[in-house]
A and B are shown apart, each in its own frame.
Chain A
Amino acid sequence: MPTTETEFLHEVAASEYKYGWETNVEADTIPKGLDEEVVRLISAKKEEPQWLLEWRLRAWRHWEKLAANPSEAYPRWPHLTYTEPDFRNITYYSSPSKKPRYESLDEVDPELLETFERLGIPLAEQEKLAGVAVDVVLDSVSVHTTFKEELAELGIIFCSFGDAVQEHPELVQKYMGSVVPYTDNFYAALNAAVFSDGSFCYIPKGVRCPMELSTYFRINQAGTGQFERTLIIAEEGSYVSYLEGCTAPMRDENQLHAAVVEIVAEANAEVKYSTIQNWYPGDNEGRGGVYNFVTKRGICKGDRAKISWTQLETGSAITWKYPSVILKGDGSVGEFYSVAFTKGQQQADTGTKMVHVGKNTKSTIISKGISGGRSNNSYRGLVKINKGAERARNFSQCDSMLLGDRCGAHTFPYIEIKNPSAQVEHEATTSKIGEDQLFYCFQRGIGEEAAIKLIVNGFCKEILAKLPMEFAVEAQKLLDIELEGSVG
């Protein structure tokens, strides 16, 4: 008799993380630990202006206060069980020490290039074939930016956060912290104090960005927390599609990742933000793995602005992430499309917040959770209709699929309505991957592993279809790899 899918998933869970290696690039790392000196050191290393140093210090003081009273400040409400990171035992800054800027690919450390090749994202090919401008963030400092000039002709700024601070300080100063203030939460405060680098993107009025903008993140320095900061500003009537994809090498100790992403969309602007997250999830006993505590938020500032979040989350030991939209402008639109896959001992608590402020605002939430092994997968979402949000509409759909019988799927929807004209719909389903569905596949000669891939991919299809084309292919490949085991 065939093995059950539970056994299959045990084998899947036992399969090794495919992107687990370490690049031996010489690095410039400051000592472990966090105090005011570290914050000053980071700022000095990056040659930052005084206003930014002061902002960091305010954030750091705020975080210190929070950290002193962890039972109040620390987010303990998620459906997650883990040991809180030791913030004094983390390295807060690391950058490849060999010449950090390159004029051409020839100057880039060959080993670094090989790393990207192994990830399946050869820069050189992407430049020529895909027409994708890639701002590669390896640990903390951007090492290569392509298509910058082409974009510059349109007035689009796409660069590292550090470069933006130097070259466009007025924009950074105006918008940084305007969507996610450092007082927002514990991790947002930490990020504001010690953020190393990230991406900056500015689309001028009426400009449609002609290519997908993408950033590949990678945690590479042992024990290095990564604190990215991304800021996207879409001026009136502009459009941009931004991609973020991540893989990380294997680690024994937990790695903390606390990123902040802020999006500002002015009237009639549209921002599409897509993520593939595939960080090291830890081994089968739950050792190691990335702790992913991310604050992502966008504001539809002007009328009829639109922000869409699409994510495929397969990695990390712990995921705590709620990409949100504040629908301030009248008629603005917020969307959240998510696939979260957990296996082994992974835990994910992810969802979104849609805050309706303006009139005739509309939000859509579609979340697909798939849990295998002994993992726990929670959807947590807030739909808030403020008093002035006349005729706001929301549709939410949360589907969970269980692979096996030792995993968990949970749904925590919160709905707050302060305007009687609101229309809010919520649908939720939980199903176990059907014995009937599997048998139907077997009977047509499709083996167990292929059948599970087929059914899971089908379950996620409507979300994966929201990703830009080349990303969708990568996403499906990634899901297949995640589902792979040693069956057959």
Chain B
Amino acid sequence: MALLQINNLHARIEEQNILKGVDLTVGAGEVHAIMGPNGSGKSTFAAVLAGREEFEVTEGGVLYEGGDLLDMEPDERALEGVFLAFQYPVELPGVSMNNFLRQALNQQREHRGEEPLSAGAFLKRMRECAALVSLDPQLMSRSVNDGFSGGEKKRNEIFQLAMLEPRLAILDETDSGLDIDALRIVADGVNALRRSDRSFVVITHYQRLLNYIVPDVVHVMADGRIVRSGDKSLALELEEKGYDWLREEAVAA
């Protein structure tokens, strides 16, 4: 059974249709890249999977581990192992990283019927996960994303991914705004977190991230649909030819 099975997913915001029939199947342990031009619906797709309220699903369905994902509240989805690395991580002034993550982690443990992590074990784990993405442990006593640099915010997302150990990680343009060194750190972090029981959906505009995170499958999204799927060579082809030829195909279809 696939971890994630999406059938004919349609979604809109206000009166505007954005997703117009997305089909996608992600198996356990697989890494899928979703590429596509701006405005093709990539970020909406991520937001709908995470349960953002502004988007209304009008047709189609999403099975996650065999259950109806769309029927679950956003926090329930998170507790069931769906993680979204935000394109624009949100600042929470006055809420320390420590406090935030301890709550997140302990809610998850409670959900699984486990005891809260001891303070010592929590700190140890935080240090290990921070090292994974070269995040300064000093940031843990600061407010969530408050005053973080662009690169720190993105690394912070991958750090949280490492802490929360999801089964499905969706990375929404995690590479945008990163210089090549930061990109490498993020990619190395993700690669270290690849496991046979953890799947990734990596949304990106550029091919270069895929030099570091090598996907099993590459999909191209255009006008709210997946118009082409292939192996990693598809990404290189896009790099060379751009998106226009696919967009024309999509319109013609």
Contact = CB atoms under 8 A, between A and B. Distances in A.
Contacts of B86: 440, 443
Contact of A447 (B75, B84, B95): B75
Contacts of B95: 454-455, 457-458, 461
Contacts of A457: 94-95
A450 interface: yes
Interface in A447-482: 447-448, 450, 454-455, 457-462
Nearest to B111: A445
**Which residue among A443, A446, A457 has the maximum number of chain B CB atoms within 10 Å of its CB?**
A443
A448 B74 CA distance: 10
Contacts of B73: 1-2, 442
A444 interface: yes
B11 interface: no
B17 to A, nearest CB: 19
Contact of B89 (A2, A440, A459): A440
Contacts of B137: none
B50 interface: yes
A444 B94 contact: no
B53 interface: yes
Interface in A424-454: 434-437, 439-448, 450, 454
A454 B92 contact: yes
A440 B90 contact: yes
A86 B91 CA distance: 49
Contacts of A441: 75, 92, 100
Interface in B125-168: 143-144, 160, 164
Given A440-B90, A442-B75, A458-B92, A1 B53 contact: yes
B90 A446 contact: no
A443 B143 contact: no
Contacts of A455: 92, 95
A2 B89 CA distance: 21
B78 interface: yes
B94 to A, nearest CB: 3
Contact of B107 (A436, A439, A450, A459): A450
A92 to B, nearest CB: 43
Contacts of A435: 53
B78 A459 contact: no
Contact of A439 (B74, B99, B143): B74
B123 interface: no
Say which size band chain A's interface belongs to: 20 to 34
Interface string B90-132: 1111110001110110011001000000000000000000000
Contact of A440 (B92, B103, B107): B92
B92 A443 contact: no
Contacts of B93: 458-459
Contacts of A460: 94
Nearest to B83: A443
Nearest to B50: A443
Contacts of A450: 103, 107
Contact of B104 (A2, A446, A461, A462): A446
B94 A443 contact: no
Give the one of A442, A444, A454 with max B CB within 10 A.
A444
Contacts of A444: 78, 100-101, 104, 160, 164
Nearest to A434: B90
Contacts of B90: 434, 436-437, 439-440
From B79, B89, B101, B160, residue with most partner A Cβ within 10 Å: B79
Given A443-B84, A445-B111, A2 B94 contact: no
Q: Which of B77, B100, B101 has the most CB of A within 10 A?
A: B100
Interface string B24-57: 0000000000000000000000000011110000
Contacts of B160: 444
Most buried by A among B77, B94, B104: B94
Contacts of A458: 92-95, 143
B104 A442 contact: no
B72 to A, nearest CB: 10
Nearest to A447: B75
Contacts of B99: 454
A2 B92 contact: no
Contacts of B91: 437
B74 to A, nearest CB: 4
B108 A445 contact: yes
B56 to A, nearest CB: 9
A443 B51 CA distance: 8
Contacts of A439: 50, 52-53, 74, 90
Contacts of A1: 53, 73
Q: List the 8 closest pairs (A to B, CB-CB), nearest first.
A: A458-B94, A458-B95, A461-B94, A445-B78, A442-B74, A444-B104, A440-B90, A442-B75
Given A441-B75, A446-B104, 9 more contacts: A2-B75, A439-B90, A440-B144, A443-B78, A445-B75, A445-B79, A447-B107, A454-B99, A461-B95
11 contacts: A442-B73, A443-B77, A443-B78, A444-B100, A444-B160, A445-B75, A446-B100, A446-B103, A457-B94, A458-B93, A459-B93
Interface of B: 50-53, 73-75, 77-79, 83-84, 86, 89-95, 99-101, 103-104, 107-108, 111, 143-144, 160, 164
